[in-house]
Amino acid sequence: MVSQRLQAVPPSDTVAISNLVSEMKASGIDDIISFSLGEPDFTTPGNVIDAAVDSLHKGFTHYTPSMGLPELRKDIADSTRAKNGIPCGPQNVLVTPTKQAIFMWALAYLDPGDEVLIPDPAWVSYEAVVLLAGAKPVYVPTYFNEGYVIDPERVRAAITPKTKAIIINSPSNPTGAVQPEDTLKAIAEICVEKDIIVLADEIYEHIIYSGKHVSLASLPGMWERTYTVSGLSKTYAMTGWRIGWLIADDIKSINKLQTHSITCCTSFVQQAAIEAIEGPQEARDAMVKEFKKRRDLALDLLSEIKDLECNKPDGAFYLFPRLDKDVDSNTVAKKLLQEGHVAVTPGRAFGPCGEGSFRMSYAASEDDITEGIARMRKVLNSL
């Protein structure tokens, strides 16, 4: 009964691990330390919560314009223009949950037979949305010993007459890599030369410790061909609020999909988003500082594990250590969970180049990081 479109999407390797976590919890094991979460462990700043509650009490509980509240669209455009150098105005902003933005982008711009380049390893949902749109994901390898920086020549080599788009995610989930400006400029030149459109996923743009976040849409010739997505989930610990945005020269086609699917983003959440952007930024800055401290702590502790190597990522809140042993990443993740009661995500879930690694989110307390890595050390030494 299931559509061929959905059948084309392979089951996620992450599901096996989360099923195992559930089974273990159901059997009474309650000391599992999770490094598998893709979200900040902080609570949304109080001023943002207050804005949502106020808005509800004032009866702001109805549909909004499908593209979003005018004040919010202006805030997003102004801050993106100022910080990212993207030449956008409010008319270029569509307010929508980030994942929904990516899904609608794929439905709006991909046709069956189109090829989409995805640097590998990559966030798990890119492959799925490309397949759901009937197009073909084409992985472009990136490597541990190159810090997972994309090699533009490998991008060029992967292009065929069917190549329609490339997806660039910087800072990256799962590697935390921030793509250098030179790399992005070289990719931009290739996109202009070969007439390729870009989905630029910049959802971790504020969680950056060193290096510089560069928006592809700010580079010469890129504004007209780049669809930039970002949002509040990671920056303000607002994953459950489901709000983000898409910025592009032409958002009318995607808005057509929005009007026929979710209609608009949740009304009072949009009011809270205005407060998040216009209000004080101390909580956001403190969270990023705390993540940096945890990254350094985790790297320190991981460096004591034999046969394990880890890059020092410039952004996001993930480490992507590589194990120099002849064991596949699903087995490693399973053993860490069953024997050490530590949940990580197997690297293979993020594409072929993820094999041999695992993703570890350090959106966890310092105590959990210390205890969890001590447990990992025991299990990995026994492999």
**Between residues 99 and 375, which has the closer beta carbon with respect to ligand PLP?**
99
* Count of positions on this chain that bind ligand PLP (CB under 6 A): 13
- Residue in 14, 36, 98, 183 binding ligand PLP, rule: CB under 6 A: 98
The continuous run of DSSP H or E covering 152 comes out as helix 152-158
For the segment 104-123, give every residue that binds ligand PLP (CB under 6 A). Answer: 123
User: Residue 200: phi, psi to the nearest 5?
Assistant: -100, 110
Q: How far is the CB of 30 from ligand PLP (least distance, A)?
A: 26
**Contact between 203 and ligand PLP per CB under 6 A:** yes
User: DSSP letters of 207-249?
Assistant: -BSSS----GGGSTTTGGGEEEEEESTTTTT-GGG--EEEE-S
- Residue in 9, 20, 42, 99 binding ligand PLP, rule: CB under 6 A: 99
Q: How far is the CB of 124 from ligand PLP (least distance, A)?
A: 9
Q: How far is the CB of 233 from ligand PLP (least distance, A)?
A: 3
- Residue in 137, 231, 315, 340 binding ligand PLP, rule: CB under 6 A: 231
Do the Cβ atoms of 198 and 225 come closer than 8 Å?
yes
For the segment 24-43, give every residue that binds ligand PLP (CB under 6 A). Answer: 38
- Residue in 40, 45, 68, 97 binding ligand PLP, rule: CB under 6 A: 97
**Between residues 118 and 380, which has the closer beta carbon with respect to ligand PLP?**
118
121 upstream amide cis, omega within 30 of 0? yes
**Contact between 173 and ligand PLP per CB under 6 A:** yes
* Region of residue 54 (left: phi > 0; alpha: psi -120 to 50; beta: else): alpha
Do the Cβ atoms of 66 and 259 come closer than 8 Å?
yes
**Contact between 198 and ligand PLP per CB under 6 A:** no
